[in-house]
Every structure is written in C-alpha cells, then in structure tokens.
Amino acid sequence: MLNLNHIKCQEIVKKYKLLSHSSYSKSKGQNFIFDDILLERIVHFANIPPRSLCLEIGPGPGGLTKEILKKEPQELVCIDTDIMIIHCISDVFKGFNNINIVHANALDITLKNTFKDRKFHIISNLPYNIGCVLLTNWMREINLIHDMTLMFQKEVAERIVATTGTKKYGRLTVLCQILCDIEYGFEVEKEYFTPQPKVDSTVIKLKPKENSDQLIPLIPIIEKLTHHLFQNRRKQIKNAFKALFPLDFEDVLSSVNLSPTQRPEEIPAQTFLDIARKLAG
C-alpha cells in the first residue's frame, strides 16, 4: 500500500494537469491547498476518532483526503463533479479499500442515501460557490451528522458565527445557531491556495445540538420565517409579523418578549425558534 506521506499535492496537480484541463474552471470555486502542515491542522481540529465514517466534498488533488486517511476511518466518501479529479484521486488512492470516490454533484446527493442512516463526520474545504447551499441542505439531514469541520470564505464563516445585532447576522446565522454549537477554528490566508482567490478563508466546526433531530420538521418554517423578515432587515418587525400573524401579531410578539419596533437582526436565534414553534401550531 502507498505510504501516505509520499503523496505530494503539488506533484499530483502537475502530473494530472489539474489546473490546465478543459473542464477546470475558477467559477467552480476550485482552489487547491498544497501545504501539508495546514492540511494536517485542519484534520487535527476535526478530531475524528478511528473507524469513523467520513465525507469530503471537492477533494481536489487529495491533500485533505490523505490526512483524513491517516486517521484510519472505516470509510471515507469523496464526492466531486470534476471527472479529471475523480480519475486523479482514484489512481492516487487505488491501494486503499476504505475510500469510496463518487463522481456526482454534491448538491444532488442526499446524506441518507450516501450513508444509509449511519452517522458520519464531514471534513471539507468547500467550493466557494456552493458552500452556503450545501450547508443549508445538510441542516435538513442534521440527524445523520456527528459534526462538520468546514472551510468557508472568511465572510461566510463570519456570518455563521455572527452575534445578534451585527451586520453579519442573518438567515444563515439563525439556522446554524439553532441547530448547532459552533466552534471558530482558525483563518487561512489566501496565499495558501492555488489558484490564489481574492479573499481569505476560515475553518469552523459545527456540532449538532442534542435536540437538533427533533427540530428538523421546523426547518422549513424557520427558513420561511427568516426569509420573510431578513428581506427587509433594517425595517421594524411589526409589519412582517402582521403578515405572518394577521389576527394576533401583538400577542405573539409579547409572548416572545419582542417589541414591534425591533429589527430582524435584533432577534436572537432562540427567539426565532420560539416563533417557528408558534407558526407550527
């Protein structure tokens, strides 16, 4: 079996011409990391135990894949839409029987079908252009996830961990903070990536709360509620609540200790959950 320490991403990219083949596109958000110390740090932060089930989206030349395999997972599923990436890592890791490489669009994959109701860990340097959508999709299957160690654009990570009353606080903040405990990991400067993006990135860890599986039926309501309120985030919530609760909006506001003059960004995530429960009846 191949010694994992002998795998060098920069050499793999050159060998398989991953940055020059016709299907490669910056618009896909493909940015590779070659620094082994950084890749090791990401997996160390993930803290996955041996014999775990793991999922990686967008493995690229296999740098993060290599570090995950060092932790001896029971199974690592790697999903990528780029056929050249699939051919590359299938060749590089052909001696390992605990890796399952899938050619698919991650946006079309359901976690239940991938792991058959088994809980797993997600560790990924997410493509910039689909990171938020993927995270939102995964929240709808939060009962299948042990935790998620993810790299986002710094601005997206700041939205996820934002505090009430700040400009970054919004729909993504509310959904993530209702369902998960969030640990801010570390920032990754843009110079670590090839091709170099215009922005820095941040690694964070999301761990589903104990009762998160019970909240899955409320997620569509939370999404509708936050969409309704945050589309006019600087306006007072009175009119928005009149539309949601035409007969008793004042009683609803009072029951969750909100003033009609407050703005959406001033409403804590827990209060959004309380309102969603009232909408659910």
Which tens digits make up the pLDDT trace of 15-63?
988 887 645 555 566 789 999 999 999 999 999 999 999 999 999 999 9
Q: Inform me whether the pLDDT recorded for 200 exceeds 60.
A: yes
Fold: same for 4-209 and 217-280: no
**Residue 122: is it exposed, middle or buried by C-beta count within 10 angstroms (0-12/13-18/19+)?**
buried
**Where do the structural domains in the chain lie, given as residue ranges?**
4-209, 217-280
H or E element at residue 147:
strand 145-153
Residue 190 has a CB neighbour count (10 Å cut-off) of: 15
Q: What does the pLDDT average to over 232-250? A: 82
Half-sphere exposure of 36 (CA within 13 A, CB side): 10
Which among 106, 109, 182 has a CA at the least distance from the CA of 150? 182
Residue 257 confidence (pLDDT) above 80: yes
Q: What is the pLDDT of residue 98?
A: 97
Check pLDDT > 50 for residue 235: yes
Please give the residue that has the higher pLDDT: either 206 or 3.
206
CATH class, 4-209 region: alpha beta
pLDDT at position 25: 54
Choice among 41-55, 162-176, 253-267 with the minimum mean pLDDT:
253-267
pLDDT of 26 reads 56
| Cα 214 from Cα 76, distance rounded (Å) | 27
Q: Which CATH superfamily is domain 217-280 in?
A: rRNA adenine dimethylase, C-terminal domain (1.10.8.100)
pLDDT at 96: 95
Q: What is the per-residue pLDDT for 18?
A: 87
Pick from 6-15, 20-29, 72-81 the range whose average pLDDT is largest: 72-81
State the virtual CA torsion across 72, 30, 104, 172 in degrees, nearest 10: 90
Instruction: Tell me which residue of 92, 94, 53, 57 sits closest to 71, measured CA to CA.
Output: 53
pLDDT of residue 6: 85
Reduced to 3 states (helix: H, G, I; strand: E, B; else coil), residue 134 is helix
β-bridge mates for residue 149, sequence order: 123, 205
What's the gap between Cα 183 and its chain centre?
13
Residue 162 DSSP class = P
Q: Which two tokens stand for residue 51?
A: 């014999």
